[in-house]
Amino acid sequence: MQALTTRSKVAVNKKMTFVERLYIPAILGGLRITLNHFFKKKVTISYPEEKREFAPVFRGQHVLKRDENGAERCTACGLCAVACPAEAITMVAAERKPGEENLYREEKYASVYEINMLRCIFCGLCEEACPKEAIFLTDRMVDTDYVRNNFIYGKDKLVEPMDKDKRIDVSKRETTETREFKTHPGYAHNKLYTKSLK
């Protein structure tokens, strides 16, 4: 049978020699090891001052994106809610009134869009399902709170600010590869989408 580890040792019940029974050489060896560690570089990250960088694939709090003109991209199609395995997303659709073209990109929009952050498992399937590039998971953490109700994030917390300087950066996740993945005719989930293009 193959050994599970390369570092296994056969136990030998030999009698210890006199020097070994003195223990002093062993203790000195131990002291040397601890002293070495004393001068080693510390692994601690002093949190509030120093922050560990998130991985590029980190999935945190969601954002609902606006387009270049500041209109919401979301059309309340509900694909994200269908895709959501935790059933954390609910929305109410509404029709765009004349004069609201600068607020909503298409004729239909979500008047209510809520994500329950306690239910959400941050899998990113909503982002994958979204055909309008409207929802993204960002590298922000969801804030803590004392009340469960406060974890149901509405549009006030999810939609990014209108101001161009305050937009949330999702360039790490909204890449040409992801775009191509979404529109690629070879994938089953794109069948409907590509059909609609024709």
Partner 1 sequence: MSISLFIIYKVVLVVVVFLISLFIAMYSTYAERKVAAFMQDRLGPNRAGPFGILQPVADGVKMFMKEEIIPQVSNKFLFILGPSIAMFTSCITGAVVPWGTSLHIGGHEFALQVTDINIGILYVMAITSIGVYGIMIGGWASNNKYSLLGALRASSQMISYEIAMGLAIIALVMTTGTLSLKGIAAQQTGWHWNVFYQPLGFLIFLICAFAETNRTPFDLPESDSELIGGYHTEYSSMKLGFYLFAEYINMFISSAIMSTLYFGGYNMPFIGRLGLSPNLAAILGIVFLFAKIFFFIFFFMWVRWTVPRFRFDQLMNLGWKILIPLSIFNVAITGFFILLLHK
Residues that bind partner 1 (CB under 8 A): 27, 30-31, 33-35, 37-38, 40-44, 46
Which C-beta is closer to partner 1: that of 41 or that of 164? 41
Nearest approach, Cβ of residue 23 and partner 1 (Å): 9
Which C-beta is closer to partner 1: that of 44 or that of 144? 44
C-alpha to C-alpha distance for 24 and 104, rounded to whole angstroms: 78
DSSP run (H or E) holding 197? helix 191-197
Name the residue with tokens 């590298």. 139
Which C-beta is closer to partner 1: that of 41 or that of 166? 41
Neighbours of 187 (CB within 10 A): 12
Which C-beta is closer to partner 1: that of 20 or that of 87? 20
C-alpha to C-alpha distance for 163 and 70, rounded to whole angstroms: 8
| Residue closest to 133 by CA, chosen among 63, 187, 184, 185 | 63
Q: Is 85:129 a contact under the CB 8 Å cutoff?
A: no
Nearest approach, Cβ of residue 35 and partner 1 (Å): 7
Nearest approach, Cβ of residue 39 and partner 1 (Å): 8
Nearest approach, Cβ of residue 17 and partner 1 (Å): 16
